[in-house]
Amino acid sequence: MSTPITSMFGTNSHSISATATTGNQALGKDEFLKLLVAQLRYQDPLSPLEGQEFASQLAQFTSVEELTNIGETLEISSQMDLLLTNAVNNTMSANFIGKQVFTLGNNIKLDGQDTTRLYFALDRYADKVDISVLDAAGNEVRTLQARALPEGRNYLEWDGEDSAGKKLPEGNYTFKVKAEAGDGIPVESYTLITGLVSSIRYLNGVATLIVNGGEIPLSEVLEISIPVEDEK
């Protein structure tokens, strides 16, 4: 008399479904078929496997397999799209040398010029705009004010002097913007930096623009244009 093996497969066919969809190891086609044949061979005569239940198990296994194949296909497609995007960006980036770019940032360098432009963008019209210039230690050295500025990109010119009219030393500074509408409601603003692309650096296959001696990832560039004499 054959020894029942219901202790291995459970008292009903639901054990195959659980084994096929859970566990630490994936169940392949061959393993699934072997398990299914063993269940059919040693099924309980008093509770045989019904055809409808058998078909349900096959359909479930087929669905799991198809979903796995779809997931693998999507992952491969995503990797190919990323490689293609990087290749296109790297090819195009060489044409950016000598072009003027705008990106988010608040670093400025005082280099002895008569004036330095502090660029920023507004989400909407602002009645009042205050720009605070800070030195390397974070101390506020100058406040510039403007009225009635439109939505979009704007700038104020800084003469390189502090609030007392004293010429500040050359070096690195930062600035921040505060804008308000006529009703006193804050207007969203973004500080911008600009400069000419002097070279391209590739890191791990990704292009980085060298602007004003600093590195700017291509993905962070907001605008690229032909340099204009008064856009400095």
Question: Are residues 30 and 60 located together in one domain of the fold?
Answer: yes
pLDDT band for position 208 (cuts 50, 70, 90): confident
- Residues 165-187 have pLDDT tens digits of 999 999 999 999 999 998 889 99
Last-in-domain residue among 91, 121, 147: 91
Highest mean pLDDT, choosing among 133-137, 194-198, 199-203: 133-137
120 neighbors 190 (Cβ within 8 angstroms): yes
Residue 182 included in any domain = yes
Instruction: Give which of 69, 72, 175 is closest to 117, Cα–Cα.
Output: 175
Question: Are residues 105 and 145 located together in one domain of the fold?
Answer: yes
pLDDT at 45: 59
- Residues 81-107 have pLDDT tens digits of 554 555 555 556 667 888 899 999 999
Question: Are residues 125 and 208 located together in one domain of the fold?
Answer: yes
Torsion-angle region of 189 (φ positive above 0: left; ψ -120 to 50: alpha; else: beta): beta
Question: Are residues 85 and 120 located together in one domain of the fold?
Answer: no
Q: How far apart are CA 26 and CA 82, in angstroms?
A: 28
Question: What's the Cα-to-Cα distance from 110 to each of 96, 101, 130, 136, 143, rounded to whole Å?
Answer: 25, 19, 20, 11, 16
pLDDT band for position 209 (cuts 50, 70, 90): confident
Question: Are residues 106 and 186 located together in one domain of the fold?
Answer: yes
- Residue 163 tokens read as 């609030």
pLDDT at 216: 85
Question: Are residues 34 and 116 located together in one domain of the fold?
Answer: no
Least confident of 16-30, 31-45, 50-64, 146-160: 16-30
Strands 126-134 and 100-104: unpaired
Question: Are residues 83 and 154 located together in one domain of the fold?
Answer: no
Q: What DSSP assignment string belongs to 127-147?
A: EEEEEEEE-TTS-EEEEEEEE
**Cβ of 154: how many Cβ atoms within 10 Å?**
19
HEC profile of 209-222: EEECCEEEEHHHEE
- Residues 60-82 have pLDDT tens digits of 666 666 666 676 677 766 666 55
Last-in-domain residue among 42, 74, 91: 91
pLDDT band for position 156 (cuts 50, 70, 90): very high
pLDDT at 131: 97
- Residue 210 tokens read as 């060298």
Residue 47 is part of which domain span?
6-91
Question: Are residues 165 and 215 located together in one domain of the fold?
Answer: yes
- Residues 120-136 have pLDDT tens digits of 999 999 999 999 999 99
Last-in-domain residue among 91, 123, 148: 91
Question: Are residues 107 and 218 located together in one domain of the fold?
Answer: yes
Residue 10 included in any domain = yes
Q: How far apart are CA 201 and CA 211, in angstroms?
A: 11
Q: Is the pLDDT of residue 164 over 90?
A: yes
pLDDT at 149: 96
Question: Are residues 137 and 50 located together in one domain of the fold?
Answer: no
Beta bridge partners of 230: none
Q: What is the CATH number of the domain that holds 175?
A: 2.60.40.4070
What's the structural domain count of the chain? Answer: 2
Question: What's the Cα-to-Cα distance from 190 to each of 124, 152, 156, rounded to whole Å?
Answer: 12, 10, 14
Q: What is the mean pLDDT of the chain?
A: 76
Question: Are residues 56 and 114 located together in one domain of the fold?
Answer: no
Q: Exposed, middle or buried, 133 (CB in 10 Å: 0-12/13-18/19+)?
A: buried
Question: Are residues 166 and 207 located together in one domain of the fold?
Answer: yes
